[in-house]
Amino acid sequence: MKAEERAEKAAGYKSAGMCNCCQAVMKSYADSVNVGEETLMQMGAGFGGGMGCMEATCGALAGAAMIAGLKSEGQPATRITKQLLAKFKEKCGATICGDLKGLKTGKVLCSCDNCVRNAVLSLDEVLA
């Protein structure tokens, strides 16, 4: 599946209210990892509103990092996640959920649907 198709699939999951941002990213990779969709949904369940209810890392980014770990088959994925973080920040303007949603500034840097899209696109760029 092409990165753009996977990104739209993930955004569709999110916008339809089927899952949180993390789950949407993870579910969109269900066809390419050795983990069932139900398990992916369970793994991402705690990342709605980012880690700590908008206090820390964006859930979409966290989901992409977990997929990177699955794709590395348990080998250290530090280089991949560092590149993923940089690409995501470049596309979205921040990595913290509250900053992306403009909680303190009133200025939304990136919508949830676009964070989901950008997490998928960033991960595919890093893995290519």
As a whole number of angstroms, the distance between CA 58 and CA 52 comes to 10
Share of the chain above pLDDT 70, in %: 99
**For the segment 46-67, what is each residue's pLDDT rounded down to a tens digit?**
998 887 777 789 999 999 999 9
Q: How many CB atoms lie within 10 A of CB 86?
A: 13
**Which of 70, 77, 83 is CA-nearest to residue 31?**
70
**For the segment 9-21, what is each residue's pLDDT rounded down to a tens digit?**
999 999 999 899 9
Q: How many CB atoms lie within 10 A of CB 69?
A: 16
